Structures are given as C-alpha cells and as structure tokens.
Amino acid sequence: MQLAINALGPQVVIAQTAGEKIRQMFTLPMESVGMGMATFISQNYGAKKIQRIRQGIHDGVTIQVGYCIFCIAVIMLSATPLSYLVIGKNQHLIQLSARYLRLMSLTFFFHGSLMIYRNTLQGLGFSIEAVLSGVGELIGRSCGSLIAIVLMSFTAVCFINPVAWSLSLLYCYWMVNRKLANITTSLTSDQRRL
C-alpha cells in the first residue's frame, strides 16, 4: 500500500497520511462496537441462545449503519477544516486530504460491518477464521495497491482500504452464516436426543 502511495509523490503521501489519521478517529468507535459484539456473542453462545445471536448481529449492523450515516454527514461538512488542522495552510494538500476523507467515508459501512462479523466469529470461538479474515484484508490491500500503482491514481489509493474491508467482510459474512447454521443444526439434534 505504501508503494502505491509513494509512487504518486510526497504531496500524496502527506495528504493520505493526514486523511488516514483523521479517518481512524472516526472508525475507532466502529471497532469498539465490534469488540463489544465479541462479548455479547460469546455470552449468548454459552447460553445457547442462537436467535439472540442473530438479533445481536442485526442490531450491531444497524448501529454501525446509523453511525456511518452520521460520519458521512460530519465528514462531508468538515473534511476541509479537519484536514487544515492536521496539515496547515497548504491548500492543495488540504484538498487531497479532504477528498480522501470524503471518499473513504462513503465506504465506512464495509468497515463497520466487518467489525461486527469478525468479532462474531471471535465470540463464537472461531479465532482461526477471524485471523484468516485479516489475511483476506492483507490480500485485498495488496490487490488494491497493485491497481493503484498501475493506474497511478489518487482515487484508486483512496479505495485500497475499502477493497480490503469488502473482501474480508464477504468472507466473514459467509463464515458466520455457515457456522451459525452448523451450530443450530447441532443444538437441534442435541434437543431431539434429550
């Protein structure tokens, strides 16, 4: 990823770095909600309340969507002043950083949902699968970076992280649904035996 950014020159490096620092402030609450999910899921899994787990996932994604809408509104209105606070008076860098923030904010849904599904895997006790989703993120970043290098495009750089989040989210979504189906089948067969 850094190679793709570096290839576009020092101004892009500065603008992306500033935008990324601001972006992380906005996505940190998404990660906190995800960590809370792991605890919620593990408690309900221990109590064998699978329907409550499914409802928790739905509610978690709903919380993330609401927060993402809030972030989009705030960033669309304040990306330029926020970039100014980090960068200073260089108008070109401020514009690039604000553009980075605005484009990234439109994809926050992928990051927020990923936090819900990855931490659900963790809460269900499937740590290896959760780690594999991180590997998927690295692969997504690599692919996005190669595309950005070939295109030599700042816009492509802005979408490196979202590509990684999306690929990892697809894997986590599939894996959570698969594991929950297996757990439900196992619990149903256990109840029949009793």
Find the Cα–Cα–Cα–Cα dihedral 139, 140, 143, 144, rounded to 10°: -150
> In the chain, where does DSSP find H-type helix?
2-7, 10-46, 50-87, 91-105, 108-123, 127-151, 154-158, 160-193
pLDDT tens, position by position, 160-177: 899 999 999 999 999 999
Asked whether the predicted pLDDT for residue 112 surpasses 90, the reply is: yes
Model confidence pLDDT, tens digit, residues 145-162: 888 888 888 888 888 899
CA distance 7 to 16: 12
Domain ranges, residue 8: 2-193
Number of domains in the chain: 1
CB environment 48-63: b (16+ within 10 A), e (fewer): eebeebbebbeebbeb
Host H or E run for residue 149: helix 127-151
Name the pLDDT band for 1 (thresholds 50, 70, 90). low
Picking from 104, 112, 23, 126, the residue whose alpha carbon sits closest to that of residue 59 is 112
Per-residue pLDDT at 194: 52
What pLDDT is attached to residue 78? 94
